[in-house]
Amino acid sequence: MHTQPNKITFPTDNFQLACYLISEAIPLHSVDKANPRRVVFVFEESEQRKALTQKFLAYKALVEPHRFFSAQKDLKQLIYQNR
C-alpha cells in the first residue's frame, strides 16, 4: 500500500481486477504509467475494496457485464491517452 496525503491507497497492476473494482464503484485515485512496461492502477483503500478483491481472487465475484466492459474501455482510454 502507498500513502497519499491523508489517504491510504491500494495499487495493482492487475487489469481485470482494476476493471472489476471500477465496475463496483471503488474510486480510482490515479494511473501510474512511469514504467512503460507496466501500468499501476491506484485505488482508494477501504473495507469494501478489500472484500471485493477477496471475492475476485476467490472466483466468487459477480458483476453486470455491461458495467465491466464499460470499465474496461475507460481504463484502456486512460492507459493509452498521452502516449
Q: Which pLDDT score, from 0 to 100, does residue 82 have?
A: 72
3-class secondary-structure state, position 64? coil
For the entire predicted model, the pTM comes to 0.87
| pLDDT single digits (tens) 18-68 | 999 999 999 999 999 999 899 999 999 999 999 999 999 999 999 999 999
With cut-offs at 50, 70 and 90, classify the pLDDT of residue 2.
very low
Q: Which pLDDT score, from 0 to 100, does residue 10 have?
A: 97
The DSSP annotation for 3-52 comes to: EETTEEEEEE--HHHHHHHHHTTPPEEEEEEEETTEEEEEEE--HHHHHH
With cut-offs at 50, 70 and 90, classify the pLDDT of residue 5.
low
Show the cell assigned to 68: 465491466
